[in-house]
Structure 1
């Protein structure tokens, strides 16, 4: 493999890790008004992701930075063409992060309710818009001969992209509910399991529709095979919930999300942003990449620091692995 191919794979890995990890804390935040029916349960839910949510967000920063350094043409076209949705994602993430820190600063129900609304907004909006963005990247957008985005905001809100956004949002909601079931005990876990049983079939239908559409229009043998693996993982996760195996259920929904992202990248390769105006104007791993020397330096740095980051983030999850209950919350 050339270094351009290696970095395409590494960026795919970063986005896959981001969607799996940030996916469940987006789901927890979005489900706050559904499962957090009183202040104690809301605090239990927030505490399940409290030690890890900010670490999960680092993955998207690294993915963006790696795209900028390894594929500057891709980065420039993506961030100029998708400026408004990416700005909305950024604002939502800022509000969400501030809300986690500020909601407990005053003992006031109205104060906490406002920040809880920010948590929900900051979880739902990115969960939906990331799906819209990646669906558009896979489908292709109007890119001219100069490699610049030639469309507008409304071009991004096509039926395929909206289904992609609905897919990521529904998958993250299910993933978050499974995480709550894994990380809690007592009444809130029981409520999460009931929600999973109702939400699961809906998510299966939405995700299957999106993966089939992707396979028919943009897929190849490899991406279709990966999509089938995603579907099997999702069904396996739901069966594990029924069997009371929370760990296997979480592994199933995580694998379903991860394999879905991989399927999109496999369908995309060797393009990084296909042009819907002329296939010859598409950005590819070759014409959008940095110089070989830049990629070589990046590979050395990534080889040194990536294992360290994975080790300390894995250690964080291990330290905070125990289940939480209402009794864990001080008055």
Structure 2
């Protein structure tokens, strides 16, 4: 296996870990005001992600950093073509972090409630934006012959260039799918990590979210079948297969939730998110960023990759750094594996 393929696999792994681990973080941030009826219950829900959320964000840094080092042309085209949405994602991530960290700095109930609202809004915004941005990986950007993203002439050319990719049907579907999946994995995580009323409500939310995911999968499958009828197959058949698998996975998660197998439900939900990310990144085969102007101008892995010498150098560092981060995170999840009680303890 050549280094280009190895480092593309590492990029995929980093994105899978980010969206899976941060997926339940965002889901808990979204659901805390819903599953927690008072300050105590909302605090219990948020304590489930307290030891993990900042460590999970490391995988975003890793994904962007590895892309920059191993595939500089991909990094340059993708981020320059979506820089305003990316800036918005970073600002929302900062807002989420501030809300989580500062919620407990003041004992006033209204202050904590405001922090919880900010957290929920920032979590929803980040998830929706990432879902829309993932559609760009599949649909592509207006890449020119020089690899630059082409903009229409005029004063607002730069603004239009970076916002236009999100003003599509694909982006809207991606945002909706990301929100539903985040709610599902967040609810499964809360059901696994809490006791009492929060756990019970998380079960109900997870059951509802599985229905939403199954509906999305069925819609994707139906769209693929419709498209295949008037085309030569290929992508449409693959789209149909993905939709069927998503719907089947959602049914499996629902069955696990119904029999209170929370560990199984969370594992299946995580695999569902991971599979969706892998499907997005592999949707175009060897092409990492399609050109919406001309397929011949699309960016492939080989074209986007760094020089063999650069790939060899980062391999030496990556062989130590990546396993070390994985081992540390596994250890931290093991240390904080106990459930968080959401019921109030009676006092004498």
- For structure 1, list consecutive stretches of 5 or more residues without a partner in the other structure: none
* Aligned with 1:262 (options 272, 278, 282): 278
Q: Does structure 1 residue 157 correspond to structure 2 residue 157?
A: no
- Tell me how far apart the structure 2 counterparts of residues 21 and 235 of structure 1 sit (CA, whole Å): 22
What root-mean-square deviation, in Å, do the aligned CA atoms of Structure 1 and Structure 2 show? 2.3
CA contact (8 A) 2:249 2:268 kept: yes
- Tell me how far apart the structure 2 counterparts of residues 15 and 192 of structure 1 sit (CA, whole Å): 26
Number of equivalent positions: 331
Deviation above 6 Å: which 4+ runs of structure 1? 220-224, 328-331
TM-score normalised by structure 2 residue count? 0.89
**Displacement of 1:327:** 5.4
Report 1:48-87 matches (<5 A): 48-87=48-87
Partner secondary structure for residue 170 of structure 1: helix
Q: Greater shift after overlay, 215-224 or 249-258?
A: 215-224
Partner secondary structure for residue 48 of structure 2: helix
CA contact (8 A) 1:99 1:119 kept: yes
Q: Deviations over 1:234-267 (max 9, x none)?
A: 3211110001100000011001111111111221
Q: Deviations over 1:101-152 (max 9, x none)?
A: 1111111122112211221122111111111111122012211111111252
**Displacement of 1:98:** 1.1
Report 1:158-197 matches (<5 A): 158-197=168-207
- Tell me how far apart the structure 1 counterparts of residues 296 and 189 of structure 2 sit (CA, whole Å): 44
Q: Which residue of 1 aligns with 2:2?
A: 2
The 1:276/1:214 distance shift into structure 2, 3 A limit, reads farther
Q: Which residue of 2 aligns with 1:106?
A: 106
Q: Which one has a bigger Cα radius of gyration?
A: 2
- Tell me how far apart the structure 1 counterparts of residues 281 and 326 of structure 2 sit (CA, whole Å): 22
Report 1:14-29 matches (<5 A): 14-29=14-29
TM-score normalised by structure 1 residue count? 0.93
- For structure 2, list consecutive stretches of 5 or more residues without a partner in the other structure: 152-160, 229-233
**Displacement of 1:220:** 7.6
Partner secondary structure for residue 321 of structure 1: coil
**Displacement of 1:231:** 3.9
**Displacement of 1:221:** 7.0
